[in-house]
């Protein structure tokens, strides 16, 4: 008679194969998502830059001069329809990512 034994567990080779497959899929996913996230950040910064320069021009048309203190001057003038963050942490990030040249009234990326 042939004695059949029941199997209640996976073998080591089956577990290693599963780990290798999961690792390959994870690496492929991360390598695909990372460039997309970077491109999205660049696009967001370009939109914000365009918004800030537009608001600087609006400030100039209202006050006959460019904003002397950049973002701070525009917030004080009430020009912050979402383009300029009012939250202090967002404001600090904007001040860190964009530089302002008061003589030209233009923002640029750092």
- The one-character DSSP state at 102 is T
Instruction: Give the pLDDT score at 44.
Output: 87
CA angle, residues 54, 57, 63, in degrees to nearest 5: 140
Cβ contact 84:55 at 8 Å: yes
- pLDDT reported for residue 26: 94
Q: Cα 39–40–45 angle (5° rounding)?
A: 100
pTM confidence score:
0.62
Regions in the chain scoring below 50 on pLDDT: none
SS3 68: coil
pLDDT at residue 85 in the model = 58
């Amino acid at each position: 008679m042939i004695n059949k034994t029941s199997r209640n567990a996976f073998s080591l080779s089956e577990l290693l194969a599963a780990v290798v497959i999961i690792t390959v899929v994870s690496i492929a996913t991360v390598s695909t998502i990372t460039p997309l996230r970077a491109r999205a950040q660049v696009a967001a910064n370009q939109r914000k830059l365009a918004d800030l320069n537009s608001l600087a021009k609006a400030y100039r048309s209202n006050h006959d001069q460019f904003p002397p203190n950049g973002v701070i001057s525009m917030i004080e003038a009430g020009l912050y329809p979402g383009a300029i963050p009012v939250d202090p942490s967002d404001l600090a990030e904007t001040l860190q990512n964009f530089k302002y040249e008061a003589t030209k009234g233009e923002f640029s990326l750092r």
